[in-house]
């Protein structure tokens, strides 16, 4: 997988960029210009902001910083600086109109391909940014992350369906494996140094000593979560962290976002369509506080980030950390629900071929999984290529999510990939699984 052949690197970078742009085009061509410029939720940017921001980042970090080119339109930089204007204010900025934004992003991409064609991927004498095509990989991952953000905007948008996709395969027979898996105690390698397109926050590889623990073999389902709802989980303060309880009271929460009760049954809105909440699907659109409250109600807890990564990467047979739960091979459709091929998670227990050595399924794809951990740097962290990607978010304001959702592309999905968000956030494609300490007699 870790190739150094320049032509293979060039082809991989071109493919990642083209895949991302096809998705961006789909997400921005399926609604009219008015809807592109409108704000569908104060939580989100107008779609046309994401579109031009994708182009602007590519211009700043690939064309200017890496290739040393002159700015095409320096005057628009502040408009598309995510730190300068909160999302709620972005519709009032003098943004590029949809046609202009499309043209700008296409112009930048054309120049990026010129840079790619001429890039020397010879290992010796190349900067870290061009080595292994990292700069192109980073740009493709950035675009794909904004594609997921745009998909969230589509989910929040009112009105009929603008996007459709086939459903995942139903399970041939209900998953009847064990409910939880035992991950043995002992050292494991967390993070990565070798993964060529890993971002700064995934680096470097380092050893962690993790005591043995049990973890759910599948994400928590809607039917399991519904029990918590029906048994009054949202009315009992004892399950909730103080700020979570305040959130429940302030907004009168009683179920995950997009759920509503009608005639004794729970319905949910999903990309413009109402449907009964599917019992076997992983629960979606819960905040960290809800995930944490459910886990406490169930007599369990959220896994820590290091536990999650050990469950996803540790091979007890070799003691090695793998790139993915199934091994080192890149994701394929029979192993994980990724890339917006479907507009929902697959039933819990799907993707037997994606199972980890200890028997844990759906760690990659389907739903982002909340962990108990704050977003913090690993020992030896170095901000790269700029502090605004990860470093400014370290501290304690953000919780880590792992694994990736159905809306994540394979280029931004691996056992080491880290996502983060505020613990109140629920419009994201977030779910979770639970864990517990292993009994002392099971200690390795």
Known binding site: residues?
53, 87-90, 142, 146, 421, 425
DSSP 8-state secondary structure symbol assigned to residue 444: -
Least separation, in Å, of the C-beta of 146 and ligand AVJ?
A: 6
Q: Tell me whether residue 184 or residue 404 sits nearer to ligand AVJ (CB atom).
A: 404
Q: Tell me whether residue 77 or residue 437 sits nearer to ligand AVJ (CB atom).
A: 77
What is the residue whose two structure tokens read 């409250």? 293
Coil/strand/helix, residue 188: strand
Least separation, in Å, of the C-beta of 4 and ligand AVJ?
A: 28
Q: Tell me whether residue 146 or residue 268 sits nearer to ligand AVJ (CB atom).
A: 146
| Total Cβ atoms within 10 A of residue 353 | 12
DSSP 8-state secondary structure symbol assigned to residue 64: I
Asked if 419 touches ligand AVJ (CB under 6 A), the answer is: yes
Least separation, in Å, of the C-beta of 420 and ligand AVJ?
A: 5
Burial of 276 (0-12, 13-18, 19+ CB in 10 A): exposed
Asked if 427 touches ligand AVJ (CB under 6 A), the answer is: no
Least separation, in Å, of the C-beta of 201 and ligand AVJ?
A: 9
| Cα gap 381→134, rounded to integer Å | 17
Point out the annotated binding site for gamma-L-glutamyl-L-cysteine. 87-90, 421, 425
Least separation, in Å, of the C-beta of 104 and ligand AVJ?
A: 17
Asked if 56 touches ligand AVJ (CB under 6 A), the answer is: no
Least separation, in Å, of the C-beta of 24 and ligand AVJ?
A: 13
The region of 114-122, 144-152, 260-268, 286-294 touching ligand AVJ under the rule CB under 6 A is 144-152
Asked if 430 touches ligand AVJ (CB under 6 A), the answer is: no
User: In sequence order, what are the residues at sequence separation of 6 or more whose Cβ sits closer than 8 angstroms to the Cβ of residue 433?
Assistant: 215, 216, 218, 219, 220, 303, 369
Strand partners of residue 275: 268
- Two tokens at 246? 């305040």
Tell me the residue nearest to ligand AVJ as measured from the CB: 145
Using an 8 Å Cβ cutoff, are 423 and 245 in contact? Answer: no
Q: Tell me whether residue 420 or residue 429 sits nearer to ligand AVJ (CB atom).
A: 420
Tell me how far apart the terminal alpha carbons of the chain are, to the nearest angstrom.
32
Q: Tell me whether residue 347 or residue 365 sits nearer to ligand AVJ (CB atom).
A: 365
Q: Tell me whether residue 136 or residue 420 sits nearer to ligand AVJ (CB atom).
A: 420
Residue 343, CA atoms < 13 Å, CB-side half-sphere: 16
Least separation, in Å, of the C-beta of 269 and ligand AVJ?
A: 23
**Nearest CA among 154, 425, 435, 145 for reference residue 286:** 425
By CB under 6 A, name the one of 24, 149, 321, 340 that touches ligand AVJ.
149
Q: Tell me whether residue 239 or residue 420 sits nearer to ligand AVJ (CB atom).
A: 420
Handedness of CA 88, 35, 405, 143 (dihedral sign): negative
Using an 8 Å Cβ cutoff, are 116 and 10 in contact? Answer: yes
Asked if 142 touches ligand AVJ (CB under 6 A), the answer is: yes
| Cα gap 256→258, rounded to integer Å | 6
What is the residue whose two structure tokens read 């056992």? 415
Asked if 420 touches ligand AVJ (CB under 6 A), the answer is: yes
Please name the helix (run of DSSP H) or strand (run of DSSP E) that holds residue 183, with its range, or none.
strand 180-183
Least separation, in Å, of the C-beta of 391 and ligand AVJ?
A: 12
Q: Tell me whether residue 98 or residue 404 sits nearer to ligand AVJ (CB atom).
A: 404
List of residues contacting ligand AVJ (CB under 6 A):
142, 145-146, 149, 419-420
């Amino acid at each position: 997988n870790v190739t150094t052949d320049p032509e293979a690197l060039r082809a991989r970078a071109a493919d990642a960029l083209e895949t991302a742009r096809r998705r961006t085009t789909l997400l921005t061509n399926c609604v009219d210009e008015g809807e592109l410029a409108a704000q569908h939720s104060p939580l989100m940017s107008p779609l046309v902001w994401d579109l031009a921001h994708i182009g602007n980042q590519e211009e700043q970090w690939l064309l200017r910083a890496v290739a040393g080119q002159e700015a095409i339109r320096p005057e628009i930089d502040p408009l598309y600086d995510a730190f300068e204007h909160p999302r709620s204010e972005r519709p009032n900025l003098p943004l590029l109109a949809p046609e202009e934004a499309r043209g700008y992003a296409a112009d930048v991409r054309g120049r990026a391909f010129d840079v790619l064609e001429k890039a020397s991927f010879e290992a010796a004498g190349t900067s870290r940014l061009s080595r292994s095509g990292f700069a192109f990989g980073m740009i493709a991952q950035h675009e794909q992350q904004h594609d997921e953000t745009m998909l969230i905007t589509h989910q929040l948008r009112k009105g009929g369906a603008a996007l459709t996709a086939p459903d995942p395969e139903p399970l041939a027979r209900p998953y009847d494996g064990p409910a939880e898996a035992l991950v043995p105690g002992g050292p494991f390698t967390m993070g990565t140094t070798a993964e060529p397109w890993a971002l700064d926050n995934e680096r470097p590889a380092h050893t962690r000593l993790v005591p043995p623990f049990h973890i759910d073999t599948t994400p928590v389902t809607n039917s399991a979560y519904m029990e918590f709802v029906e048994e009054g989980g949202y009315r009992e303060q004892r399950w909730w962290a103080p700020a979570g309880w305040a959130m429940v009271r302030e907004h009168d929460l009683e179920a995950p976002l997009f759920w509503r009760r009608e005639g004794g049954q729970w319905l949910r809105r999903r990309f413009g369509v109402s449907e009964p909440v599917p019992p076997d699907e992983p629960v979606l659109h819960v905040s960290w506080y809800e995930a944490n409250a459910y886990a406490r109600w169930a007599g369990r807890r959220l896994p820590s980030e290091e536990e999650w990564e050990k469950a996803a990467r540790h091979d007890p047979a070799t003691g090695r950390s793998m790139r993915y739960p199934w091994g080192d091979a890149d994701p394929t459709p029979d192993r994980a629900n990724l890339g917006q091929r479907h507009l929902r998670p697959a039933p819990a227990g799907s993707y037997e071929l994606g199972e980890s050595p200890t028997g844990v399924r759906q760690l990659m794809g389907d739903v982002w999984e909340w962990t108990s951990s704050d977003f913090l740097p690993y020992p030896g962290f170095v901000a790269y290529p700029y502090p605004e990607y990860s470093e400014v978010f370290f501290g304690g304001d953000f919780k880590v999510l792992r694994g990736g959702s159905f809306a994540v592309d394979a280029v931004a999905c691996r056992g080491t990939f880290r996502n983060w968000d505020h613990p109140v956030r629920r419009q994201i494609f977030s779910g979770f699984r639970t864990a517990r300490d292993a009994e002392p007699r099971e200690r390795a």
